Amino acid sequence: MIKALSLAIFLTIPLAESTVVHKRTQGLIDIEGTKKDIWISCSPVKDASFLEVRILDSDKVYLFFYRRVQEREQCLKAKNEYEKMVNYGGTVRVVGIRPDEEVNEPKYRKVKGIPERFTNVNKLTSAYFVRLQVKGKCKPYFSEDCDLPKNYWGGITPGK
């Protein structure tokens, strides 16, 4: 009887998801993942880089990227700041605008310097980076995008 009751209680407890989508519209994505499922990098483009934040969610990856290239050193400095924030908390929340979902073609699944588990996935959703939040800390692309809740939408029209 006790074993059956224990099993029934266990089966009714929801298993913790590693990734939670808080909001997804045509214009915005707000997602939270555990720090083990986050990868931050500076993609090389000659002497410049795009800062990228990847969040793994089973067979798909959410890719948030800066809107323009930066000098490599500037990108690495920002990357280090974001990594310090990620290490500060258990979960990381990232907001982006204009999400675009696509099938991740096998020829694009190998990216030098990025662990295979973040690239060898079936679906890829990419978005322009708005902000990263960890335990009350916030670092935005544009300074006003951490003025919450006022600028939650990152400059887009709500509801789109």
Q: Whole-prediction pTM value?
A: 0.82
The pLDDT, as a whole number, for residue 65 is 93
pLDDT class of 138 with cuts at 50, 70, 90: very high
Residues 6+ apart with CB under 8 A from 80: none
* pLDDT, mean of residues 89-93: 89
User: In terms of Cα–Cα distance, which of 50, 58, 62 is closest to 17?
Assistant: 58
**DSSP three-state, residue 108:** helix
